[in-house]
Chains A and B, each alone.
Chain A
Amino acid sequence: MTAGILTADHARMVQIALVGPPNSGKTTLFNTLTGGRQKTANYPGVTVERKSGRLRTPVGHTVELLDLPGSYSLRARSPDEAITRDVVLGRQAQEGLPDAVVCVTDATNLGQHLRLLLELRQLGRPLILALNMMDLAQKRGCQISIETLSKQLGIPVVTTVAMRKHGVQDLLGEIDVLLNQTPATVGTTAADAWEEPSPDAIRAYHQEVERLLKEVIIQEAAPERLTRQLDRVVLHPVVGPLILLSILFLMFQAVFNWAATPMDWINGGMAALQEVVSAHMEDSLLKSLVVDGIIAGISGVVIFLPQILILFLFILLLEDFGYMTRAAFLMDRLMSRVGLNGRAFIPLLSSFACAVPGIMATRAIAHPLDRLTTILIAPLMTCSARLPVYILLIAAFIPNTTVWGGIGLQGLVMFGLYATGIVGALVAAGVLRLTVLRGSRQPLLMELPSYKWPNPANVLLGLLDRAKIFMRRIGTIILSVLVVLWFLSTFPGAPAGATEPAIYYSFAGIIGRGLEPLLAPIGFNWQIAIALVPGLAAREVAVAALGTVYALSGDKEAIAETLATTLAHDWTLATALALLAWYVFAPQCLATLAAARRETNSWRWPVFMFAYLIVLAYVAALITYRVALAMGGG
C-alpha cells in the first residue's frame, strides 16, 4: 500500500467518500473510477452494504473510494441514508472521517441537487463538486460558468461524464491537489455540531441555491422532451398498467425460456461431478455425506442461478433505464390500499426469483413499518425454489388438457399458484398493517428520473454482485444446513430386516412420523411428513426427499419421472392439491428466515414470519383438502 503525502503519518489509506442524490449517476461514476476493483461488505450491526474500491491518482496516491447510498439531504429517512449521514459526519463506527468528500450532482438538475452540496459545505470538510452528466446538459444547450460556481462555493468544481473514462481525469487531478494541500487533521467541530436542518433552514438552502444559479447559469437547459413524451404513454392511467403487465409477462417468459439451457448445463455438470467423486471415493459415511448430502444438495440450489440472474438482468436494466420508479408509481395506489408503499414493488418483484435478495432490496424503503411489512410478505411471492415441487405435482395430477378453448389446464394451475401467492401477500400486508404493524401511512415522495440508456458496465457489475451474494449464501448457510439434514436423514441407520426405506428409521423419519398426526387432517401421509423435514430448510429439497422416501434410485430426471407416476398412484388428488396450497404459503426456507433476521436485527420478526406463514399454510391446505374431498377429489 503506497501512502501519499497525506497518509505518511496515517495508518490507513486516504479515504474519499462519494456522496450524491439518487439518479445523479454516482454509482456509474464510482464504477468508472474504480473499474472492477470493488469490494462489497456490510456495515456492522446494520445491513447496509459498504461499497468501496481503490483507485490511483495521477500523482500516485492510492485512494479508497467509498460509494455511499444516494441521499437528497443529510437528514436521513432510511437506513441507507443514515449510513451516508453517519459516514460523512464521522459518526459511523469503525469508519474514520473521510479525508475528502466528492459530491456528485446531475448537471441537468442543479436546482434540486445543489442543496445537498451546501449542506456538505457547511461541515467545513475538504469537498469537491462533480457536475455529472455534463454531456447531457450540453446536449440540451445548458451552459454553466464553472469558474464562477467554484469561486462562489469556494471549492473545486469539475465536470464529469461518468460513462466515459476521459471524463474523470479532471476529478482525479483535483483529488490530488486537495490531498497535497489539505492538512491531515481538520477541525471536526462543524461535523460534531451538525443537527437536522429545520424546515426554515432547508428553505434558506433553497434560496442560496437560487442565488447561485442566477450567478452561474449562462444558458438554461432546454426542457427534456423525450422523457415527457414517453411518460405520457408509460404513466397513462390505462395504457401504463397494460405496458407494465406486458413487461412483466415478457420477463417471466424470458426467465423460464432462456434459463432452460444453462440450467441443463449446471445439472449435467453437477451430475458429472457427482460421478467423478463417487468413482474416486471409497464407500463410507464421508462419501455419502459428500455425494448425497453436499453435492446433491448444492446442485439443487445452484440450478436456480440462471433464473435469478435473468430476472435481475431485467430488473437492473429497467432500473437503469428509469422505468422502475414508474412501475412503483403505477403500483402505488394498489399497494397503498394494503398499507404498502409503491417502492415495495421492486423488492417484491425480486422475490419471484428468490426472497433473499428481495428482502435485502427492502433497504431502500424509508419507513421501518413499510419495510417490515414488505419483508414479512416477500416469502409469499412464488420463488424459483417452489417450481420443482409445482412442476412435479402438476405433471402427476393435473391432466394435460385444455379448457375454455385453448388454455392449457396445467399452465392455468401454475398461474393460479402464482396468483394465490400475490393475493395472499396483499391480504397479509393489509391485515398486518391493521394489527401488528399498525402505524401512520408514510408519504410517497419519489423522483421520477429522466429516461436514459442503461449502462452495460453498471448492469454487469450489478449482476456479478447478485451472483456473488447468492453463491456466498450457498457456501455458508445452505452448506451447513445440508450437512445437518444429511445427518438427520442418515442416522440412525435402518435396523436389520427393515421393510421401509432407511430414511423411515432416521431422525428425520422419526420427526416426520411424529408430525404425521398433525398433518393428517390436511391429507398429508407419513411420506410427505418426512419429506417436509428437510424441505423446511429449502423447499426444493423436498423433491429429492420424496424420492428417497419412495426408495427410488437413478439420476435426478429418472427420479422425477418415476416419482410423478408413483405419486399419481399413491396420493389422492385432494392430497396433491393440499400440498400445492401448503407450498404457496409455507415458510420452508432457512435462508429467507436468516435474511429476515439479519435485516430486522432481531429474532422476533423471523419467528413471527415463520409462525404466521405456517398457520396460513395449514389453513390453506386444510381448506383445499376438505373442499377437494367434498368435490370428489378423494
Chain B
Amino acid sequence: MNAYTEQACQALEVGRLVKAGLTQPLGQMPRGSIGRILAVSGMGDRNIERGLLEMGFIEGACIEVLHYGLLGRDPLAVRINQSMTVALRQVEANAVLVGPLLDQTGTGPGASQERGT
C-alpha cells in the first residue's frame, strides 16, 4: 500500500508480529504486538472515524501496542508508524481493525502491492 510505512514497520522485530491471517480490533491486541491497520470504521460515527484518521489511524499504517492502563486495560497507548504515540480508549480502539503486518502469501489485505516500485 505504501512503501514508506512499509520500511518503517519492517524494522520492527518479526517475533512480535500479529499472527498471519489473524485480524482483531486494536483494543484486543496484546501489549507489545504489532500489526497493520486494515480498516478504520468509527463504528458508524463519522466524527470518531475522522478523529481517528486525523490522529494517524489510517488504513495501511503500522501499529504497535505500547501500554495499557491498570484497570480494564484502558486506556491504551499505541505507536503509529514508529513516529507518533497516541493514547486512546478501548471503545475507540475497537473501531480500528488490525491485521498481520505481512501476509505470508503476499496477496492478503496486509500485503504491500507497491513494494519494490
Contact = CB atoms under 8 A, between A and B. Distances in A.
Interface string B38-68: 0010100010111111111011000000111
A472 B4 CA distance: 52
Interface of A: 72-73, 75, 77, 108-109, 111-112, 115, 196-199, 202-203, 206-207, 210, 213-214, 217, 220-221, 223, 227-228, 231, 235-238, 241, 325, 328-330, 332-333, 336, 342, 441, 443-449
B83 interface: yes
A537 to B, nearest CB: 41
B69 A333 contact: yes
Given A332-B87, A448-B86, A111 B56 contact: yes
A97 B44 CA distance: 36
Contacts of A329: 67, 69, 75, 77, 87
B83 A111 contact: yes
Contacts, number: 127
Contacts of B40: 199
Contacts of A236: 67
B2 A207 contact: yes
A210 B59 CA distance: 12
B14 interface: no
29 contacts: A73-B54, A77-B51, A108-B83, A111-B81, A112-B80, A112-B83, A112-B84, A197-B50, A198-B50, A199-B40, A203-B53, A207-B2, A213-B4, A220-B8, A227-B85, A235-B66, A235-B67, A237-B69, A241-B70, A325-B87, A329-B69, A330-B69, A333-B70, A333-B71, A443-B92, A444-B92, A447-B55, A447-B86, A449-B85
Contact of B53 (A206, A328, A332, A342): A206
Chain B contact residues, majority secondary structure: mixed
Given A111-B81, A444-B89, A332 B69 contact: yes
B59 A203 contact: yes
A237 B68 contact: yes
B75 A109 contact: no
Contact of A199 (B53, B71, B74): B53
A109 to B, nearest CB: 5
A91 to B, nearest CB: 20
Interface residues of B, number: 43
B33 interface: no
Interface of B: 2-5, 7-8, 11, 40, 42, 46, 48-56, 58-59, 66-72, 74-75, 77, 80-89, 91-92
Given A199-B50, A214-B3, A443 B67 contact: no
A213 B81 CA distance: 13
A445 B51 contact: yes
A336 B87 CA distance: 14
Contacts of A328: 87
A213 B101 CA distance: 20
B92 A445 contact: yes
B75 A333 contact: yes
Contacts of B81: 111-112
Contact of B58 (A203, A223, A237, A336): A203
B18 to A, nearest CB: 19
A108 B80 CA distance: 13
A112 B66 CA distance: 18
Contacts of B88: 443-446
A220 B84 CA distance: 14
A210 B2 contact: yes
A199 B95 CA distance: 14
Nearest to A71: B54
B87 A111 contact: no
Given A199-B53, A333-B72, A443 B91 contact: yes
A196 B53 CA distance: 13
B44 to A, nearest CB: 12
Contacts of A207: 2
Given A199-B46, A443-B88, A333 B74 contact: yes
A113 B40 CA distance: 19
Given A231-B67, A441-B91, A448 B54 contact: no
Contact of B4 (A109, A111, A227): A111
Contacts of A444: 75, 87-89, 92
A108 B84 CA distance: 9
B55 A220 contact: no
Contacts of A198: 46, 50
A323 B58 CA distance: 26
Contacts of B82: 223
Contacts of B55: 72, 112, 445, 447
Nearest to B70: A237
A558 to B, nearest CB: 51
Given A329-B75, A444-B88, A231 B66 contact: yes
A446 B2 CA distance: 25
B83 A109 contact: yes
Nearest to A450: B85
A423 to B, nearest CB: 18
A471 B85 CA distance: 38
Nearest to B76: A329
Given A72-B55, A213-B4, A333-B72, A109 B49 contact: no
Q: In the complex, which of the residues B49, B53, B91, B92 has the most CB atoms of chain A within 10 Å of its own CB atom? A: B53
Contact of A202 (B48, B53, B75): B53
Contacts of A72: 54-55
A109 B66 CA distance: 18
B87 to A, nearest CB: 5
Contacts of B53: 199, 202-203, 206
Contacts of B83: 108-109, 111-112, 221, 223
A449 B74 CA distance: 19
Q: In the complex, which of the residues A77, A199, A228, A328 has the most CB atoms of chain B within 10 Å of its own CB atom? A: A199
A210 B85 CA distance: 18
Contacts of B3: 214
